[in-house]
Amino acid sequence: MKDRTLKTLTRLMDSDLPLSIETLKVEMNVSPRTIRNEINEINDFLEGEGISRVQTIRGKGFILAITDNERANIQSLTDLDHSEAYLSRDERIFDLILSFSLSTEPVFCYQKEIDYQISKSTMDEDMRRVRKLLRQYDIEVVSTIKQGILLKGTERSIRTMIYDVINKSVGSIAITTGKRAETVIENLLNRYIPKETFTTLDQIYDQTISSTEESAYRDQMILFTAVWISRYSAKQVIVKSSTDLKQKKHSKMKAYTETLCTVLDVCPPEQERQYINFMLESFTSENTTESIEWVQAQLLSIQLIRHVEQATNIPFTRKEESLHEGLYKHILGLINRVKNHIQMVNPLKETIQNYYREVYRAIQTFTPQVEQITGEQLTDDEIAFLTIHFSASVSAINQDLKYTYKAVIVCNHGTVTGKLLSENLKEQFNIDIVGVLSSREIHLIEKLDVDVVFSTLALTYEQKPLLVLDPIIREEDKQTIEAFLTKHQQFKRLTNHTVDATDLFQAFIDIIKQSGGSVSGKIYQSMEKLFDTHQLKINKKEIQPMLKDILEDKDILLSEQAADWSDAIRKVSVPLLEKAIIEERYVDAMIQSVEEYGPYIVIGEHIALAHARPEDGVNKLGVSVATLEEPIVFGNEDNDPVKIIFCLAAVDAYSHLNIMKNLVDLINDKEKIEEMVQCKDIQQFKKILYSEQSKITETGR
């Protein structure tokens, strides 16, 4: 059975609902005619084994109704089919790459010819393609008489290559599901990385990071860890660590890697521990200000929201707070990953491209700005991840705020995908989604005040009415959902109304401060969640300061003379030092960061934003600015020379967002920049700087 036919069969086995030709066409990326041919081939196979055929339901599509015994029989038969299958060229190339990079024994081409039952000329062509593919990763294939085929390249490059090749060939690794039949490619993978390894890492993830989370991030982290442990076990190590491997002193990721070293009885050197911790942390969104790219990520998220809004005419600024938070965290991880040549696989890519084409294309046109920072082209998979954030907001913007059902969603595709399904359900069917759970949290449903359950995977749950859906609602799903709600309409409830509680929120903040306490980012976010839980709406823009609220006259320096870029940073820092907003070590950190990472602080033509991490010596939120008498070259070819330099002292990842938005407006206004550079009077400088701010404030609030 062909690989695509097997995937179609697997898809039918895993669905409890009819699948339309349109759905299968999109997922398999083939024509309707091909899908019909695949169904015919599947039916021939099933009939030959005495198993029920795929049924066609008019107006709905195909469904495979089989017993558990029939399911087990199909799995055993398809596994046998894989073990005896003649490998295609793509499968041989996949096997060759893994054997060269993960095999503990020498690999010789003549032996592979015998194993594959192919001619020498065919083998030569396979090797030519392997060499061409690996050159993309700066890896050379070397043939030796005694040691067989060897890979010549940096260990980082080889590990990245293995991870990337597995992702592109296998797609999303199914670690815990027992229903899915394995493909030929997956069986080949398990020859080099046993399934038990993935299972063990999954269990360690449960113990140290999360026992409930199910997402693409989790699976990708486990895959990357499996590649690392396989290479390290084969005595292939990182020679020395890079200077950019800054990590948290205490993190779940560190606990994860330390636990797996104990369980697997390995003791890697410090540079290996630094490497794997740093790489894995780039898959998460926890570290929001410790990465040097945190300001770039915030600027990009603000710019991206505005770009997509202009391109699609969808008012995303109405949901800007929640959209920005998720987008910023995702972009921060994306920058770290892509800089290290790691890009994730998105199992819903094709569906997202088809059903959210307008937003996807808008993001595509913005990606060059992201790629300027990452230095590498973004894959369609990563663009699809960004699209999910916007697509969830589309539904939130359009939804009717009157809810008539209380429901919970069970989703193993990750939080963002669950949120997308949640917003779609609320928009189209007046449903109040209480929460999104993973399959590991089913036991929590009975503790929630809900009436119905929606799930993206087949479940057996008899306590509440349950409907299985795909993560993205299609036209054929709408009638099914409508019928489900009608059947259980006895659970309808009265609608809830939100109340604007911004003044109440601000009053709480003032009470805390008056009582001698301080409001940290953590406390602020906890209060936001508390208000959200009780359906008390707050306008977050009104409680975040604007640039004009923070920038005092003493913070503005005009026509400053600076010897070079480091002197410019020291000069613009003086007002903040004098007010003890920052410490001297913060100035040193800003300069050291540019020396280490390059002119990343040059954020636009002629504009620099000097900053470091909040923990490097920031005492409170502050901003200063200096115009330079003579423009300074920072080393940024696109935006040099710098004529205006700001210094940002941020205490967390949220309180300065309106200031960042003001700076984004400035970046896009070359005329204003030139006026500010020529200005010699502080009051006139402020008038020019804030000339459009009142309009921004009115539209923002």
Q: Give the three-class secondary structure for 500.
A: strand
Q: Within a 13 Å sphere around the CA of 652, how many CA atoms are in the beta-carbon half?
A: 11
Nearest Cα to Cα of residue 187 among 175, 195, 176: 195
Nearest Cα to Cα of residue 436 among 469, 403, 398, 407: 407
Nearest Cα to Cα of residue 332 among 75, 134, 613: 613
Nearest Cα to Cα of residue 623 among 565, 585, 581, 589: 581
Burial of residue 245 (CB within 10 Å: 0-12, 13-18, 19+) is middle
Cβ atoms 158, 134 nearer than 8 A: no
**What is the SS3 assignment for 235-261?**
CCCCCCCCCCCCCCCCCHHHHHHHHHH
Phi–psi pair at 50, nearest 5 degrees:
70, 30
What is the rounded distance in angstroms from the CA atom of residue 41 to the CA atom of residue 19? 17
- CA dist list (Å): 477 to 349, 407, 426, 473, 533: 19, 17, 14, 6, 30
Give just the sign of the alpha carbon dihedral 285, 286, 289, 293.
negative
8 alpha carbon, distance to own chain's centre: 27
- CA dist list (Å): 225 to 96, 200, 255, 278: 21, 11, 13, 12
**Terminal CA-CA length for the chain:** 60
- CA dist list (Å): 248 to 428, 526, 616: 43, 22, 13
Please, what is the Cα angle at 559 between 558 and 563, to 5 degrees? 125
Tell me, yes or no, if 611 is annotated catalytic.
yes
What is the rounded distance in angstroms from the CA atom of residue 475 to the CA atom of residue 490? 25
Which residue is catalytic, options 82, 341, 611, 656? Answer: 611
Q: What are the structure tokens assigned to 656, written together?
A: 């300065």
Which residues are known catalytic residues?
A: 611
